Structure 1
Amino acid sequence: MIRIHLTSVFVDDQAKAQDFYTRVLGFETRQDIDLGGGNRWLTVGAPGDDAVELLLEPSGHRAVGPFRDALREDGIPAAQLAADDVRAEHERLVALGVEFTMPPTDMGPVTIAVLDDTCGNLIQLAQMAG
């Protein structure tokens, strides 16, 4: 069996990303290893779910900027996160000052919303119906 253990998003500032993904979104820091040169192996994950981690990866590679710029211009999220209640999370996050490029929207079997993670990415929240 193959399963997802780690996925990543490129971030402009790892400290800022760690604050946003932990304090604002509610994840917890899993790994924080100094790699030298100001870079860290920095992962976060949902409390109580040790199976999947999100790597907050430095965006220094020359291909990252054009790639992320193109995604943002087209409104394409860099990652998708599951939420038990997208509308409640939207309300909570807006109250914390998070900017959304798409409010909660019903799309058949899924309700989605798209937020700006303040670190260069659009992130989609998704709630499956049922």
Structure 2
Amino acid sequence: MKQYIGSIALVVADYDEAIDWYTRVLGFTLVEDTDMGGGKRWVVVAPPGSSETRLLLAKATNAGQSSRVGDQTGGRVFLLLHTDDFWRDYRRMDAAGVTFCEAPRDEAYGTVVVFQDLYGNKWDLLQLKQD
């Protein structure tokens, strides 16, 4: 049996600004943007080369959801963006204006830096060490 996480819902304030940021700043691909009626859309983005896990950009529709935009994990790192070339992606993201929370660092498991998305959610950019 094979299972995998197909999509992770990320609560956003606005579909179009989220699409713009994820595609322009992080270089993600817009996989789908389907109008569901009533102002709701099915918006899916994915990192370059990703074949399974994707982000479902879900627009907040009430005060409770809006209060979670940018803080889905209470200030902890939310998502880990793995890369095959840390310094290439770090430099590209830096040039695109990404907010980094620290300087890149080498750890026992690889090279990592914490950054924030457009709403303040924390992410790791991570290149794992090869065995």
Partner-residue secondary structure (3-state), 2:103: strand
CA distance in 2, matches of 1:77, 1:60: 24
Higher helix share: 1
Q: Is the 8 A contact 2:23 2:29 kept in 1?
A: yes
Q: Match for residue 111 of structure 2?
A: 111
Give structure 1 regions of 4+ aligned residues with deviation exceeding 4 angstroms.
none
Q: Match for residue 7 of structure 1?
A: 8
TM-score by length of 1: 0.82
CA distance in 1, matches of 2:47, 2:72: 29
Q: State the percentage of identical aligned residues.
A: 34
1:109 maps to a residue whose letter is: Y
CA distance in 1, matches of 2:102, 2:32: 31
1:22 maps to a residue whose letter is: T
Partner-residue secondary structure (3-state), 1:17: helix
Q: Match for residue 56 of structure 2?
A: 55
Q: Match for residue 85 of structure 2?
A: 85
CA distance in 1, matches of 2:72, 2:58: 18
Confirm whether residue 32 of structure 1 aligns to residue 33 of structure 2.
Answer: yes
What CA RMSD, in Å, does the superposition of the two structures yield over aligned residues?
Answer: 2.3
Extract unaligned runs of 5+ from structure 1.
none
CA distance in 2, matches of 1:81, 1:128: 11
1:43 maps to a residue whose letter is: V
Compared with structure 1, are the counterparts of its residues 121 and 39 closer, same or farther at alpha carbon in structure 2 (3 Å cutoff)? farther
Q: Is the 8 A contact 1:102 1:113 kept in 2?
A: yes
Aligned residues between the structures: 128
CA distance in 2, matches of 1:67, 1:30: 22
CA distance in 1, matches of 2:34, 2:72: 30
CA distance in 2, matches of 1:30, 1:70: 23
Compared with structure 1, are the counterparts of its residues 6 and 14 closer, same or farther at alpha carbon in structure 2 (3 Å cutoff)? same
Q: Is the 8 A contact 1:11 1:120 kept in 2?
A: no
CA distance in 1, matches of 2:53, 2:73: 24
Q: Is the 8 A contact 1:79 1:124 kept in 2?
A: yes
